[in-house]
A and B are shown apart, each in its own frame.
Chain A
Amino acid sequence: GAVVSQHPSWVICKSGTSVKIECRSLDFQATTMFWYRQFPKQSLMLMATSNEGSKATYEQGVEKDKFLINHASLTLSTLTVTSAHPEDSSFYICSARGLAGAGEQYFGPGTRLTVT
């Protein structure tokens, strides 16, 4: 099956710094990638949708200047959390949708971000 990787799997950073999370589709080309955030014991919340070569579309309430998304190629999207604060601590998950099929999305393993 299709594989999506994320790097890093976990990261601890200090308040005020920026953190970049990478999402890669390893064996297929992803025209669209999605970024989700999940707080403990809650469901996944979509943050933004990114299409290769174009600007990301952010969900209501998600600050586009704080969560920078770049989808530079058909296999890589990055999420940068700028000026991170403790309330940004969360589980960040990306998913990728391939060129074909009925629209299945394949999810990465997630990145645990802790801001101290």
Chain B
Amino acid sequence: DAKTTQPPSMDCAEGRAANLPCNHSTISGNEYVYWYRQIHSQGPQYIIHGLKNNETNEMASLIITEDRKSSTLILPHATLRDTAVYYCIVFEYAGNMLTFGGGTRLMVKP
């Protein structure tokens, strides 16, 4: 079973920030939080990952709460091409495999 809980769908206006929440209350100390997205009929695309600290890259920012039980993926200026299913995954390096939950279907609207 997936270890994360995400809302099934969200809407966002084009140009605005998209904030996608994820709950992972049973995360263990050596598990990372990974985010991937899947645009229709394509393979998943890696976005960002983090362990404890907040992270930022050219695609997004990842905010992890201090207790690590939840996180938020932020797309600062959403575009129509960001419409996709976003998956939040907790991953242990030694465990070796990603387990996908239901994800959040983000619809960016003009």
Contact = CB atoms under 8 A, between A and B. Distances in A.
Q: How large is the interface on B (under 10, 10 to 19, 20 to 34, 35 or more residues)?
A: 20 to 34
Interface residues of A, number: 25
Contacts, number: 54
B93 A102 contact: yes
B96 A49 contact: yes
B68 interface: no
A30 B97 CA distance: 13
A34 B97 contact: yes
B21 interface: no
Contact of B103 (A43, A45, A104): A43
A6 B97 CA distance: 19
B48 to A, nearest CB: 10
A102 B99 contact: no
A104 B98 CA distance: 9
Interface stretch (A12-20, A66-74, A78-86, A106-114): A106-114
By DSSP majority rule, is chain A's interface helix, strand, loop, or mixed? strand
Contacts of B96: 32, 49, 97, 103
Interface string A79-98: 00000000000010101010
Interface of B: 32, 34, 36, 38, 41-46, 49, 87, 91, 93, 96-103
Interface of A: 1, 4, 6, 32, 34, 36, 43-46, 49, 91, 93, 95, 97, 102-110, 112
11 contacts: A43-B103, A46-B97, A46-B98, A93-B43, A95-B43, A103-B91, A103-B93, A104-B49, A105-B46, A107-B46, A110-B41
